[in-house]
């Protein structure tokens, strides 16, 4: 489980930076359309190769359609359009709110317990993220409110996706859930191809941009998403979500390795807080779940 979450965070730590570069070059709409068209094709090919069973109950199909809507048009649509008006640092900060939203939703809808202890760890980790991002220049990027609001909507959509996907993972494997979520969400976006100029002529897209799109399609959607789902299948939603707060640390380490950036005292303090908060949440014992009215609704596939 730790390996799956670790690899997921390494891959995801580059997503904000690469997506920002690609959307700056050709715009958010073509990036989204090309990314998810490629990802859907790759995921369907993988399903065919591994001979995965396609039998899914009607209630689960409805849930998959809802998750597809949350992940592709809402989460990624608002994320990419928001990122075009904001910055990678702001996106990282706002996504650091995901564990808090997931914690609140999981307590209500999945019956997760020990919320106060998890809340303390989540807030400590979030404080660490804020310190790290301010050290990395966040304080100089405050004039991007519209983009931040769009990204915040994406954060709420991803949080809802995390909680609502949990019951499905009790009946289907992580790759199957990811495949049909991405494919259904992509189908919802295909009409956007009819918008004049939605996607520039493919030969005119620079190779570095193609590289970024392929990373988002394969590295993030085809590899990182199923790893996230795999971990979610075996762990509480709040424990999986809080690992996203490690991403700013990984981004800083990659910047150090690639660009030679130095670690500041503020970064070290922030990293210690993040790791302390994540460790606190991850090592807390998970008492037996107590179903609530919300939990019964989720398990019954009513969404």
Report pLDDT digits (tens) over 118-140: 677 777 777 877 776 676 555 55
| Residue 35: closest CA among 214, 227, 179 | 214
- Chain-wide mean pLDDT for the chain? 81
- Cβ proximity of 96 and 248 under 8 Å: yes
Question: CA–CA distance from 257 to each of 14, 187, 250, 253, 263 (Å)?
Answer: 13, 39, 10, 6, 11
Cα–Cα distance between 116 and 106 in angstroms, integer? Answer: 13
| pLDDT tens digits for range 35-58 | 999 999 999 999 999 887 667 889
- Residue-level pLDDT at 249: 74
Give DSSP secondary structure letters for 116-154: HHHHHHHHHHHHHHHHHHHHTTGGG----HHHHHHHHHH
- Residue-level pLDDT at 205: 97
User: DSSP secondary-structure letter at 112?
Assistant: -
Map residue 16 onto helix, strand or coil: helix
Report the range of poorest mean pLDDT among 23-27, 114-118, 226-230, 284-288: 284-288
User: DSSP secondary-structure letter at 289?
Assistant: P
For residue 160, name the pLDDT band (cuts at 50, 70, 90).
very high
Report, as an integer, the average pLDDT of 248-255. Answer: 71
pLDDT at 149 over 50: yes
For residue 289, name the pLDDT band (cuts at 50, 70, 90).
very low
- Domain regions of the chain by residue span: 2-299
| Residue 87: closest CA among 134, 38, 30 | 134
């Amino acid at each position: 489980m730790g390996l799956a979450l670790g690899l997921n965070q390494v891959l995801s730590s580059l997503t904000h930076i690469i997506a920002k570069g690609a959307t700056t070059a050709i715009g958010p709409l073509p990036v989204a359309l090309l990314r998810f068209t490629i990802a859907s094709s790759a995921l369907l090919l993988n399903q065919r190769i591994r001979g995965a069973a396609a039998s899914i109950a009607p209630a689960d199909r409805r849930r998959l359609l809802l998750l597809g809507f949350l992940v592709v048009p809402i989460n990624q649509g608002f994320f990419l359009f928001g990122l075009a008006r904001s910055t990678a640092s702001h996106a990282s900060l706002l996504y650091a709110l995901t564990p808090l939203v997931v914690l609140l939703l999981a307590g209500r809808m999945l019956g997760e317990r020990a919320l106060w202890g998890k809340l303390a760890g989540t807030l400590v980790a979030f404080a660490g993220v804020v310190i790290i991002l301010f050290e990395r220049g966040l304080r100089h990027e405050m004039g991007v409110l519209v983009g931040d609001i769009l990204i915040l909507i994406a954060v709420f959509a991803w949080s809802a996706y995390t909680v609502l996907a949990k019951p499905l993972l009790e009946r289907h494997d992580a790759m199957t859930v990811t495949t049909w979520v991405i494919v259904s969400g992509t189908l919802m976006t295909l009409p956007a191809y009819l918008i004049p100029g939605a996607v520039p002529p493919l030969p005119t897209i620079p190779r570095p941009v193609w590289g970024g799109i392929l990373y988002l399609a394969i590295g993030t959607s085809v590899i990182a998403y199923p790893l996230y789902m795999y971990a979610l299948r075996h762990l509480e939603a709040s424990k999986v979500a809080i690992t996203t707060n490690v991403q700013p640390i990984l981004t800083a380490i990659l910047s150090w390795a690639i660009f030679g950036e130095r670690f500041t005292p503020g970064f070290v303090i922030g990293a210690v807080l993040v790791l302390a908060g994540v460790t606190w949440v991850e090592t807390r014992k998970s008492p037996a779940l107590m179903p609530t009215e919300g939990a019964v609704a989720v398990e019954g596939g009513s969404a």
